[in-house]
């Protein structure tokens, strides 16, 4: 037993703990921002920043669900595929003449149902989350293409409100949705028993179970919520693109989401995580992509950069975890 | 006679706690040298130093006369010192031959030469007269055969000093005898054995010499023939005043917890006992024996293979955590970091977990949570420097108090305390003992699962002694002498 107290190195500092915790990501974000701003006149223009914020809105919505899930020690590799399926289903429903509102609701319900299936596999059948969601991800990747018949399905001027609407004449609706989701997730993680139970389960599932915390129900809810938010991301995707098309969502979106959450400092083994970190991770990846774009660097480097940032963040998290 | 391995004036402490004080210990070639002592006497620390897993603070480890200041487990093994642990370490899915030759399977042209592997393994087993087929899968062997294979493996890899840590802990009489036979054969083949056991009768029958440790000191080293059971027990427990058992004037009330013929495979056979309100009943056994099953069975983590549990007259569904909690039964683990606390969450939130699990509120009200936690902390004497640090930052004693406060601060019908002072310092131990007294005073039926004789005498009103999974005694503690109790746990004649 190594139940010996660890010294508190940070006692006495008056910096708020969340700032200290995310100082690394924040510093990298500022660094890249300053560098891009000095190299390109476009970066700090309102149009570009709006563009960036709209691009990352979908990632942020998915990442919020994943942060909650990973805090409880779970993982979901099917979020991108659920988003792809959702954006196809929403498009086909609209093409079939279903009004926007019901179409969106049905899509969201479908996403939640898929998430529940993931949850059932993980909790009742005790399949490792990685394998369970990899299986659904693969199956849904194919399903997404089948739904749209492998072609673009245009939705005309439907869902304009979500795709191009603005609040107060400047802020895109998609950004407002993403912000609302992230704030709600942060509140859930701090103030609800459900959110706190996720921390307890991720931190020590056995102790949580013995304390009477409903471990299975909480996990089912977490996967369901993840699926629901992924479907919302899919709706935002189709609204913004004006059409469902092959290649939207899917694996690339998934990896970006996982990367953002990990960069934000959420532990892969569960027990700790913050929405502030996740939002910073999403912002960082968005800014890096935009920066590579503006600096006219070969787009193939995008994935290289994504992988590199992820590796550095994971190593930094490991070193930090070892120290405490 | 030639000395194979020797500790000269070895001391070791952890933090402030002294585990070993100036120990001299020597094992001759071909000798069976038994090491006995109560829990916490320092046996495991001594073994870890022998095997290079720990470096002594002072003193020296000599192997074949040469000093080894920086002994590592790898070096020790290379020099012929190996350990066979109580928890068997064979890879259960692999065959006996593969286990015997783990990491050094014979190869021809890069591929494993299976014929030679089985021949080599068979030869090594035959040399020790161990009759186990080399193609058998290790996990399907009985526990005694697994132990034999493990010992044979260590000998085959060049072990000249074998440390056997409780090799017969979970074996029945006949199985234990096959292990004893092997030990005698090894000894006559010139291999030195350090034999650790709680079963004193087997130690007396087997050992050439016996060293007794108590509180980190070597009390005596004597030839096995010169010692008897009573003398050995006295050396283990010492002459000090046995325990300050507070006078208690509480009278046991109604029966609250009833355990009826509870069984769990070979680990626990038909345990029957009742605990009444205001009463502390201890189930005492050697470390890892039947009493260590109780936590899993009573908490609902695992389904017993037989028997019933009743709380306040109502059956508790087997293997159901929620049912146990709802019945008012609280099980406090002896392994606080594995099953008791969430180390990454703060003290206050950990203290609130059981309440949250029972009440299932929607929201967490932090203000109220901190206020209630503050009261609990002061009642249980949890001292922290920071306002509300994560539990992982606390000392063992404070973690243990948080654990008890988390589970027991609301009125409970009955509770199981598993090793409640596991790994805590003396001051915290005294505090925890008072807390347990207080529980019984309030009317809780307290069941104590323990391997610690001192603690049982200090806390319990009644004691049930288990050995090798069976109940060997059920006695009131009042008037029971410590030596008598020790004799019962470690293998006296009373069974």
How far apart are alpha carbons B324 and B331 in whole angstroms? 9
- Kindly determine whether residue A211 and residue B339, on different chains, have CB atoms separated by under 8 Å: no
**Over the stretch B353-380, which tens digit does the pLDDT of each residue have?**
999 998 899 999 999 999 999 999 998 8
- pLDDT value at residue B170: 67
- pLDDT value at residue A1: 37
Disruptive mutation site among B342, B368, B415 for chain A (greatest number of A CBs within 10 Å): B342
Q: Residue B491 pLDDT > 80, yes or no?
A: no
The distance of A224 to chain B (nearest Cα, Å) reads 18
Q: Select from A190, A200, A210 the Cβ nearest to the Cβ of B345.
A: A200
- B336: closest chain A residue by CA: A207
**Over the stretch A131-144, which tens digit does the pLDDT of each residue have?**
999 999 999 999 99
- pLDDT value at residue A167: 86
Q: Does B16 touch chain A (CB under 8 A)?
A: no
Chain B residues near residue A72 by CB distance under 8 angstroms: none
- Kindly determine whether residue B342 and residue A193, on different chains, have CB atoms separated by under 8 Å: no
- pLDDT value at residue A8: 42
- Of B94 and B286, the structure prediction assigns the larger pLDDT to B94
Q: Which fold has domain B3-237?
A: Rossmann fold (3.40.50)
Tell me what the mean pLDDT of segment B220-232 comes to: 88
- Kindly determine whether residue B339 and residue A213, on different chains, have CB atoms separated by under 8 Å: no
**Over the stretch B398-431, which tens digit does the pLDDT of each residue have?**
899 999 999 988 888 999 999 898 777 777 888 8
Chain A residues near residue B344 by CB distance under 8 angstroms: 199, 203-204, 271-272
The distance of A245 to chain B (nearest Cα, Å) reads 41
Chain A residues near residue B364 by CB distance under 8 angstroms: 190-193, 195-196
ipTM confidence score: 0.86
Q: Does A322 touch chain B (CB under 8 A)?
A: no
Neighbour-count burial of B240, counting CB atoms closer than 10 A to its CB (0-12 exposed, 13-18 middle, 19+ buried): exposed
Q: Tell me the β-bridge partners of B390.
A: B346
Neighbour-count burial of B171, counting CB atoms closer than 10 A to its CB (0-12 exposed, 13-18 middle, 19+ buried): buried
Task: Name residues whose C-beta falls within 8 Å of residue B443's C-beta, 6 or more positions apart in sequence.
Answer: B253, B277, B278
- pLDDT value at residue A10: 44
Q: Do residues A317 and A83 touch, judged by C-beta distance below 8 A?
A: no
**Over the stretch B326-356, which tens digit does the pLDDT of each residue have?**
999 999 998 888 899 999 999 999 999 999 9
How far apart are alpha carbons B484 and A161 in whole angstroms? 84
Residue B375: CA count within 13 A, CB half-sphere: 8
CATH 2.40.128 for the A20-319 domain, yes or no? no
- pLDDT value at residue B16: 66
The distance of A168 to chain B (nearest Cα, Å) reads 33
- pLDDT value at residue A4: 39
Count CB pairs under 8 A between chains A and B: 104
Q: Where in chain B is the domain with CATH 3.40.50.300?
A: 3-237, 255-490
- A209: closest chain B residue by CA: B321
Q: Which CATH number fits domain B255-490: 3.40.50.720, 3.40.50.300, 3.40.50.11900, 3.30.420.40?
A: 3.40.50.300
Q: Does A212 touch chain B (CB under 8 A)?
A: yes
Q: Select from B342, B349, B396 the Cβ nearest to the Cβ of A3.
A: B396
The per-residue pLDDT of chain B, averaged, comes to 87
Would you state the structure tokens that stand for residue B131, as one six-digit string?
A: 């009759």
Q: Do residues B193 and B187 touch, judged by C-beta distance below 8 A?
A: yes
Q: Residue A320 pLDDT > 80, yes or no?
A: no
CA-closest candidate to residue B457, choices B253, B252, B241: B241
Q: Residue A2 pLDDT > 80, yes or no?
A: no
Disruptive mutation site among B44, B48, B345, B354 for chain A (greatest number of A CBs within 10 Å): B345
E strand map for chain A: 153-154, 166-167, 171-172, 243-244
Q: Select from A204, A214, A272 the Cβ nearest to the Cβ of B341.
A: A204
Chain B residues near residue A8 by CB distance under 8 angstroms: 385-386, 389, 393
Q: Tell me the β-bridge partners of B81.
A: B161
E strand map for B285-369: 306-311, 314-315, 329-332
- pLDDT value at residue A9: 45
Q: Do residues A306 and A256 touch, judged by C-beta distance below 8 A?
A: yes
Tell me what the mean pLDDT of segment A286-302 comes to: 89
**Over the stretch B264-307, which tens digit does the pLDDT of each residue have?**
887 888 899 999 999 999 999 877 788 888 999 999 999 999 99
Query: Where does the pLDDT of residue B119 fall: very low under 50, low under 70, confident under 90, or very high at 90 and above?
Result: very high
Q: Does A296 touch chain B (CB under 8 A)?
A: no
Distance of CA A250 to the CA centre of its chain: 13
């Amino acid at each position: 037993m190594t139940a010996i107290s660890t010294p508190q190195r940070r006692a006495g500092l008056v910096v708020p703990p969340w700032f200290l915790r995310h100082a690394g990501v924040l510093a990298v974000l500022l660094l890249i921002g300053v560098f891009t701003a000095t190299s390109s006149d476009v970066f700090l223009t309102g149009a570009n920043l709006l563009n960036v914020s709209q691009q990352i809105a979908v990632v942020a919505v998915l990442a919020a669900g994943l942060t909650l899930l990973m805090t409880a020690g779970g993982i979901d590799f099917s979020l991108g595929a659920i988003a792809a399926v959702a954006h196809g289903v929403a498009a086909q429903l609209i093409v079939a003449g279903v009004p926007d509102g019901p179409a969106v609701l049905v899509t969201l319900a479908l996403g939640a149902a898929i998430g529940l299936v993931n949850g059932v596999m993980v909790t009742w059948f005790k399949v490792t989350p990685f394998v369970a969601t990899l299986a659904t991800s693969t199956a849904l990747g194919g399903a997404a293409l089948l739904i749209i018949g492998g072609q673009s399905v245009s939705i005309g001027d439907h869902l304009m409100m979500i795709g191009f609407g603005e609040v107060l004449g400047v802020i895109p609706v998609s950004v407002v949705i993403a912000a609302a989701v992230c704030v709600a997730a942060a509140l859930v993680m701090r103030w609800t028993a459900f959110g706190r139970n996720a921390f307890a389960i991720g931190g020590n599932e056995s102790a949580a179970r013995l304390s009477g915390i409903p471990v299975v129900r909480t996990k089912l809810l977490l996967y369901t919520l993840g699926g629901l938010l992924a479907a919302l991301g899919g709706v935002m995707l189709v609204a913004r693109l004006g059409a469902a098309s092959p290649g939207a969502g899917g694996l690339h979106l998934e990896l970006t989401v996982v990367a953002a959450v990990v960069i934000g400092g959420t532990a892969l083994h569960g027990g700790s995580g913050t929405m502030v970190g996740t939002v910073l991770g999403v912002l960082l990846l968005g800014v890096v992509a935009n920066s590579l774009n503006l600096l006219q660097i070969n787009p193939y480097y995008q994935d290289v950069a994504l992988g590199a940032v992820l590796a550095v963040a994971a190593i930094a998290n490991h070193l930090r975890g070892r120290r405490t | 006679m030639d000395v194979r391995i020797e500790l000269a004036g070895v001391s070791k402490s952890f933090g402030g706690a002294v585990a070993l004080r100036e120990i001299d210990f020597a094992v001759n070639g071909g000798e069976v040298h038994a090491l006995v002592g109560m829990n916490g006497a320092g046996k495991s620390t001594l073994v870890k130093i022998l095997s290079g897993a720990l470096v002594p603070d002072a003193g020296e480890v000599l192997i074949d006369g040469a000093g080894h200041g920086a002994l590592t487990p790898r070096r020790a093994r290379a020099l012929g010192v190996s350990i066979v642990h109580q928890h068997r370490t064979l890879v259960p899915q692999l065959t006996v031959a593969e286990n015997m030759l783990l990491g050094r399977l014979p190869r021809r042209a890069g591929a494993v030469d299976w014929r030679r592997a089985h021949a080599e393994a068979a030869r090594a087993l035959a040399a020790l007269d161990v009759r186990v087929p080399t193609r058998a899968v290790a996990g399907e062997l009985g526990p005694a055969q697994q132990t034999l294979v493990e010992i044979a493996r260590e000998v085959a890899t060049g072990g000249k000093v074998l440390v056997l840590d409780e090799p017969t802990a979970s074996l029945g009489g006949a199985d234990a005898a096959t292990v004893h036979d092997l030990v005698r054969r090894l000894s006559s083949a010139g291999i030195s054995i350090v034999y650790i056991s709680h079963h004193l009768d087997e130690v007396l029958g087997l050992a050439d010499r016996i060293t007794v440790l108590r509180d980190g000191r070597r009390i005596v080293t004597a030839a096995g023939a010169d010692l008897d059971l009573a003398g050995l027990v006295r050396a283990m427990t010492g002459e000090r005043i046995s325990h300050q058992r507070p006078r208690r004037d509480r009278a046991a009330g109604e029966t609250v917890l009833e355990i009826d013929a509870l069984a769990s495979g070979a680990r626990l056979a038909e345990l029957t006992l009742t605990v009444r309100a205001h009463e502390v009943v201890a189930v005492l056994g050697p470390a890892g024996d039947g009493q260590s099953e109780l936590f899993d069975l009573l908490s609902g983590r695992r389904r017993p293979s037989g028997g019933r549990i009743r709380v306040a007259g109502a059956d508790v569904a087997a293997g159901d955590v929620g049912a146990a909690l709802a019945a008012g039964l609280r099980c406090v683990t002896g392994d606080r970091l594995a099953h008791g606390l969430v180390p990454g969450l703060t003290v206050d939130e950990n203290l609130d977990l059981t309440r949250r699990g029972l009440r299932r509120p929607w929201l967490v009200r932090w203000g109220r949570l901190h206020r209630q936690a503050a009261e609990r902390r002061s009642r249980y004497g949890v001292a922290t420097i920071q306002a509300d640090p994560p539990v992982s930052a606390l000392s063992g004693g404070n973690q243990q108090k948080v654990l008890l406060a988390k589970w027991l601060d609301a009125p409970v019908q009955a509770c199981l305390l598993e090793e409640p002072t596991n790994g805590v310092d003396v001051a915290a131990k005294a505090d925890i003992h008072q807390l347990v007294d207080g529980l019984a005073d309030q009317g809780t039926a307290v069941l104590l699962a323990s391997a610690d004789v001192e603690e049982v005498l200090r806390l319990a009103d009644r004691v049930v002694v288990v050995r090798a999974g069976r109940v060997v005694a059920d006695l009131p503690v009042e008037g029971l002498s410590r030596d008598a109790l020790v004799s019962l746990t470690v293998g006296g004649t009373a069974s």
